[in-house]
């Protein structure tokens, strides 16, 4: 009998906002996810205030998992200016933190960066006027470039992008429209289309939709933990997604 298609199971969640009082809070969820998945993705806002003490607690919560862990940082992880130490603590704990890098894991290519805001489509902020506005837009352009460079290094049939900010408007809908521009940037979508990613995972949109798609119909998953908890099913478990490696 011929073997069936090879598949990979990916657990993904963002916006843990791990605080100094959260010891023991996440480990049961991580353990259950590791039993159901081949690897774990963490989509930013790993800590609440970007403190090293918070990062140490999260690293302890993740300790002992027998599956690879890939992550990107989020805006909360930058809050206290300790992001380099947060990154080091998580890396020392076995987490591969992506900041414009590419990794191949279990035959699948992963590219990750934090991303940035600026809005979507015709309502995206343009680099015009005051210097501070141009700097703001340049940050989104730089993050898009980092994502594209990471994707360009992958030679795998499947390429998966890991972000904190959303690359499309669809998965932030449900949030107040006034803050859409702070939840992501459509500038991040261009490299996703150019390199024809298999799927995209992001967080940040606590009240956003759980799934959308890029203009070329590739799935985009909002795996923000608050969004998972406020969905109709009220699912607080870390979701697991399956992909066919023989596509």
Residue 150 lies in a domain: yes
Q: What is the DSSP string of 9-54?
A: EEEEEB---B-TT-TTTSHHHHHHHHHH-SEEEEES--BSS--HHH
Three-state DSSP at 67 gives coil
Retrieve residue 80's tokens: 């206290």
Q: Is residue 3 part of a domain?
A: no
DSSP helix, strand, coil percent of the chain (3-state; round to 5): 35, 25, 40
Would you write out the chain's pLDDT as a tens digit for each of its 247 residues?
346 568 999 999 999 999 999 999 999 999 999 999 999 999 999 999 999 999 999 999 999 999 999 999 999 999 999 999 999 999 999 999 999 999 999 999 999 999 999 999 989 999 999 999 999 999 999 999 999 999 999 999 999 999 999 999 999 999 999 999 999 999 999 999 999 999 999 999 999 999 999 999 999 999 999 988 775 554 568 999 999 887 6
User: Domain with 139 in it: what CATH number?
Assistant: 3.60.21.10
Q: Helices 52-62 and 27-36: crossing angle, nearest 10°?
A: 40
CB-based contact 37:2 (threshold 8 Å)? no
**Model pTM score:** 0.94
Residue 2 lies in a domain: no
Structural domain includes residue 15: yes
- Residue 28: give the domain boundaries: 8-244
Count up the domains in the chain and report the number: 1
In a domain, 1, yes or no: no
């Amino acid at each position: 009998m011929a073997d069936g298609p090879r598949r990979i199971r990916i657990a993904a969640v963002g916006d843990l906002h791990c605080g100094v009082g959260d010891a023991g809070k996440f480990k049961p969820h991580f353990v259950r996810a590791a039993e159901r998945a081949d690897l774990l993705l963490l989509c930013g806002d790993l800590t609440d205030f970007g403190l090293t003490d918070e990062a140490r607690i999260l690293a302890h919560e993740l300790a002992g998992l027998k599956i690879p862990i890939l992550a990107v940082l989020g805006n909360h992880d930058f809050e206290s200016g300790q992001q380099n130490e947060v990154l080091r603590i998580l890396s020392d704990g076995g987490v591969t933190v992506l900041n414009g890098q590419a990794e191949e894991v279990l035959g699948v290519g992963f590219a990750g960066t934090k991303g940035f805001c600026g809005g979507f489509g015709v309502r995206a902020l343009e680099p015009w006027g005051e210097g501070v506005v141009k700097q703001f837009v340049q940050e989104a352009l730089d993050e898009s470039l980092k994502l594209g460079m990471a994707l360009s290094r992958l030679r795998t049939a499947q390429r998966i992008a890991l972000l904190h900010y959303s690359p499309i408007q669809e998965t932030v809908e449900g949030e107040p429209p006034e803050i859409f521009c702070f939840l992501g940037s459509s500038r991040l979508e261009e490299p996703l289309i150019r390199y024809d990613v298999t799927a995209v995972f992001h967080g940040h949109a606590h009240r956003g939709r759980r799934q959308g798609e890029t203009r070329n119909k590739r799935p985009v998953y909002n795996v923000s933990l608050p969004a998972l908890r406020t969905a109709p099913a009220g699912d607080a478990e870390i979701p697991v997604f399956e992909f066919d490696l023989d596509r």
